[in-house]
Structure 1
Amino acid sequence: METPEGTLSLPVPPLGYENHTWIAESDGMTSRAALAAGSGPYRSAVVPPISKLSVQLNGTMSADSEEAIAALASFDHYATSKLGAQSTTLGPMSAVLLRTESTSSSQIENLTVGARQLALAELDQSTSDNARVVVANVRAMEAALRLADQLDLDAILTMHAELMSGQRGWEEHAGHLRQQLVWVGRSAVSPRGASFVAPQPGLVAAALADLTDFMHRDDLPVLVQTAIAHAQFETIHPFVDGNGRTGRALVHALLRAKSVLTQTTAPVSAGLLRRTDSYFEALTAYRSGNAAPIVAEFAGAARFAARTGEDLVDSLADQLDAARQRMSSLRRQAAAWKVLPHLVTHPVINAHLVARLLDTSGTTAQRALAQLAETGVLSERSGFKRNRVWQHDGILRVLDDYASTLTRR
C-alpha cells in the first residue's frame, strides 16, 4: 500500500518495549559522572512474532520484488551456461563469488582485506588478522549453504560458530546464544541513550524459533520473505557479536533453500554495502512497523549483485582463457592443466594445496607449479626457498578491482 505522502508501506508488527533499570559498572575507563548518568531506567525491545505474518504487496512492490528475484535466477543460469554445467571451473567460480560476498559482508563491519591477503590466510600464511576473520566468514557462508535445507536453531548456531572461529578472544561465545544484554550505542557500560537495545537474553530462543517457522513458509514472495527474515534476525540480535555477518549468511541459506540460487552465490551484501546508511535506516523503519524500505534495499542489492556478478564471472573467465593460450605449448596430459581451474578459487597457491586438490604427490605438484610459472600463468612472489607460494596476478587484480567498486556512497 501507499502512505498519504506516496511512499510505499508494507505493515509489519512494530517493536514492543519493556522497562528495566540498569546499574552501570566501572570498566576502569569511564568516569564516575558517566557511570552515574549510565545508571537508571531504560527500555529494551520486545520482538513481535512473525511466523503467521500476513503479507500484502501492492503492484509496484510485487513487480519490483519479482524482477529482483528473476535477476538473481538469471545470473545463476548465466554462470552455469558460461562455464558449462559439468565444467570443473563452475565450482571454483561459485566459490570465488562466495569469497567476494564474504569480504563485502565483512566490510560493512569495517573489516577490509585485499584478495592476496585473503588467499594467503586460506593457506594459513597471512599476517592479517582481518584476513583470518574474513576467511571465517567464508566458512560461515559455506555452512549456510550446506545447511540450507534444515534452517533451524542448530543451523544458525553452526553458522555463528564457523564465523567466530576466526575472531580471537571470542571462542567462548562461538555458536552460543547470548546470555547478556547488547545494544547499539556509544557507551560500553550502559544501554541508556543507545539507538537500539536488543531484547533481553531470555526472549531470544523463542524469537528465533518463531523466525525459523517464518523462514519455512512457502506461501510468501521469496525476496520479501528473505528481507523480513533478515531484518527480524538483526532485531533479535541473538549473539554477543557477529549478528550482522551471521544474518547475511542466513540470506544466502534462504536463497538456496528457495531454489533461487542453486549453482552459485550472488554478492548480495555487495549491493547492501553500497548504501549502508539507507540499509540501517531500513532496519529502523522495519522496527517501527514498515518493511517496505528493507524490501526495497534487498531488491536493489539483488539487482546489483546479478549485474556485477555477471561482470565478475566474465572477467575471471577471461583470465582463464588467457592462461589457456599461454599454456598452449604444454601437452594436454601435463599436470598444470588440472591446476588451472582451481586458480580462480585459489589465486595464491602452494605445492601442499596443489597436492591435496589433485590428490597427487608433492613432486607432481611441484612440477605443475613449475609449468605454470614457466608459461607465465603464475609468478612466485614469496622469495622463499621453502614454503614457497605462487600467485595469479590477473585474478588477484580482478578481485581487487571488483572490491574497489564497492566503496560506500
Structure 2
Amino acid sequence: MRKADVSQDRQRYLVKCGKPYDHCYALIPPATPRVLPQSAAMHTQLQKAHEALGNLRSRAAILPNADLITRTLARREAVQSSQIEGTKTNLPELLEYEATLGQDGAPPDVTEVERYVHALAMGQKVLDGEQGRRAINIDLIKGMHRALLEKAPARLRPGDYRDSQVWIGGGRIEDATFVPPPPEAIPGCMEELETSMLQYEPREDEFGTMSIVAQLAVAHAQFETIHPFFDGNGRIGRLIMPLMLAAEGYPPLYLSGYLLRYRRAYYDVLANVQLQGRWDAWVTFLCEAVVRSVETSMGIAKDLNGIHDEWVKALSDVKANSAVHQFPRLLLGRPVISVTHAAEVLGISFVTANNAVKIMVERGILSEPKARRNRVFHATRILERLERE
C-alpha cells in the first residue's frame, strides 16, 4: 500500500507499522460514519433496497414452511460465503457431510464450511434472546469467530484479535493493496464500531436516522477495514449483515450469492472505501445486492414450496398413516438425507424410515448418487433449484 494510493483526507490516518515493518504504513480507519453524503443515484437505490426488504418481511410472514426453507438457505449461504474466500466445497457435499455426521470423511474444505453454519447458528441463537441490536457486540463477534475457526491452528487465535501486523494482497507488505491497523489499535476501533454502528441508535443531536441498508454497508466496510482477526474476517463480516437485519425484525436474508457472483466488483468497491473513503459506489452496490438477494430468496422459497406440493400430490395414493408423508416437508430443510438421519429427525424407526425412502426413490423424488458405506439420498429437484440463480 503506497501512500499515494490513499486519498489526501485519509492520509492523516496512516501510522507506521511496528517492527519489522516500521518502514511501511498501516491505516487506522476514521471514526465510523453515521451520516453518508447521498447522491441522487444512491438515494434511489436505498429506496429500492428498503422496498425489497419490506416485501420480504410481508411475504415471509405468510410463507409456508419458512423455517425449513430458511435452514436450507443458511447452508447455501455458508457455502457461498466460504467460496468467496476460495473454498471448493459445494452445497451437496456440505449436506452429505451433515447427513452422515461426517462418518464418511469429507472433502478438505467441507468442515470449514460446516463451522460457518455453526457460527451463524450461534449468532441467531443470541438474537433469539430478544436483546435487539444490543446483542450484536464484540463478545458475539469473538464467539462466532471462535466457532468459525474451531480446531484451527492456535496461531490463528480463534476468538481473539490478531497480535501482529497483517496485510491484504501481495506476498510482501511492500506490495500490499491494503494494510489494516496495527494490532494495538484494534480494540479501540472495534469498541467504536460496536457503539456507533453495530448497536446503532439515533442520537438526539443528529438530524434523521441512518437507514438499515446504509448501516449494513457501513458496518461491513468498517469491519473489513479494521480486519481484526488473522483469518475469517470476510466471513465474519458477511455474518454480521443478516444478524443486523434480523435484529431489526427482518427475515433472514443472505447476500453472499450476489457477492460471490460479482466478487471482483465487491472487492473493488470495498477497496475504494478503505483507501479513498468513497462510500457512494459501495452503498449502491450493496443496495443492488439486497434487491437481488430478496428476489432470489423469494424465488427459491416459492419454487421449493411448489416442489413440496407436487410431491404431496404424487404421494396421495400412499396409505395415510405411512411415514412417507413426512418426507416432503423434511426434504425442504434437509435435501440430502441418510436413512439413519431421517429416522432420528422424524423420531421413527430405521426400518420405517428405510421403507419410506424406498418409496421416495421409486417415485423419483429421491435418488442415490453413488454407493458408499453410509448411503445418502438426494432430493435432486431441490438441489438443482438451489444451484440455479
| TM-score, length basis structure 1 | 0.81
Percent identical among aligned pairs is 26
Is 1:269 equivalent to 2:256 in the alignment? yes
Cα distance in 2, alignment partners of residues 292 and 15 from structure 1: 22
1:159/1:246 contact within 8 Å kept: yes
Q: Paired residue for 2:206?
A: none
Is 1:360 equivalent to 2:348 in the alignment? yes
Is 1:334 equivalent to 2:322 in the alignment? yes
How many angstroms does 1:172 deviate by? 5.4
Match of 1:209 among 191, 199, 202: 191
2:49/2:291 contact within 8 Å kept: yes
How many angstroms does 1:168 deviate by? 4.8
State the SS of the aligned residue for 2:253: coil
1:354/1:365 contact within 8 Å kept: yes
Is 1:128 equivalent to 2:107 in the alignment? yes
1:15/1:46 contact within 8 Å kept: no
Cα distance in 2, alignment partners of residues 55 and 13 from structure 1: 16
How many angstroms does 1:116 deviate by? 1.8
Q: Paired residue for 2:6?
A: none
Is 1:95 equivalent to 2:71 in the alignment? yes
Match of 1:392 among 379, 383, 388: 379
1:136 counterpart letter in structure 2: R
1:72/1:305 contact within 8 Å kept: no
State the SS of the aligned residue for 2:92: helix
| Cα offsets for 1:300-344 (capped at 9, x unmatched) | 101110112222222222321222222111123221222321212
Q: Paired residue for 1:26?
A: none
1:357 counterpart letter in structure 2: V
Q: Paired residue for 1:247?
A: 237
Q: In the superposition, relative to structure 1, how do residues 143 and 70 fare at CA in structure 2: closer, same or farther (>3 Å)?
A: farther
| Cα offsets for 1:256-299 (capped at 9, x unmatched) | 1122x23xx33312222232222222212222222212111110
Is 1:61 equivalent to 2:46 in the alignment? no
How many angstroms does 1:178 deviate by? 1.1
How many angstroms does 1:184 deviate by? 0.7
| Cα offsets for 1:43-100 (capped at 9, x unmatched) | 01112222x73345355423321320221331243244342xxxxx221101112222
How many angstroms does 1:15 deviate by? 7.2
2:71 counterpart letter in structure 1: A
Match of 2:368 among 376, 380, 396: 380
How many angstroms does 1:228 deviate by? 0.4
Q: Paired residue for 2:224?
A: 234
Cα distance in 2, alignment partners of residues 94 and 71 from structure 1: 18
Farther off after superposition, 178-187 or 283-292: 283-292
2:304/2:332 contact within 8 Å kept: yes
Cα distance in 1, alignment partners of residues 105 and 52 from structure 2: 36
Q: Paired residue for 1:285?
A: 272
How many angstroms does 1:392 deviate by? 1.2
Matches within 5 A, 1:49-198: 49-50=31-32, 53-83=34-64, 89-123=65-99, 124=102, 125=104, 127-148=106-127, 149=132, 150-165=135-150, 168-169=152-153, 173-187=157-171, 190-198=172-180
How many angstroms does 1:253 deviate by? 0.7
Cα distance in 1, alignment partners of residues 253 and 292 from structure 2: 9
How many angstroms does 1:13 deviate by? 7.0
Cα distance in 1, alignment partners of residues 159 and 340 from structure 2: 31
1:328 counterpart letter in structure 2: S
Matches within 5 A, 1:301-320: 301-320=289-308
2:292 counterpart letter in structure 1: F
| Cα offsets for 1:96-148 (capped at 9, x unmatched) | 12222222212211223333212112232453122222222222222233334
| TM-score, length basis structure 2 | 0.85
**Count of residues paired in the alignment:** 363
Cα distance in 1, alignment partners of residues 155 and 367 from structure 2: 37
Moved over 6 A (4+): 12-15
How many angstroms does 1:203 deviate by? 1.2
How many angstroms does 1:218 deviate by? 3.0
Cα distance in 2, alignment partners of residues 117 and 15 from structure 1: 48
Structure 1 residue ranges without an equivalent (≥5): 1-11, 24-38, 84-88, 403-409
Q: In the superposition, relative to structure 1, how do residues 204 and 15 fare at CA in structure 2: closer, same or farther (>3 Å)?
A: farther
State the SS of the aligned residue for 1:44: strand
Q: In the superposition, relative to structure 1, how do residues 250 and 14 fare at CA in structure 2: closer, same or farther (>3 Å)?
A: farther
Q: In the superposition, relative to structure 1, how do residues 300 and 291 fare at CA in structure 2: closer, same or farther (>3 Å)?
A: same
Q: In the superposition, relative to structure 1, how do residues 376 and 178 fare at CA in structure 2: closer, same or farther (>3 Å)?
A: same
Cα distance in 2, alignment partners of residues 338 and 227 from structure 1: 41
Q: In the superposition, relative to structure 1, how do residues 13 and 91 fare at CA in structure 2: closer, same or farther (>3 Å)?
A: farther
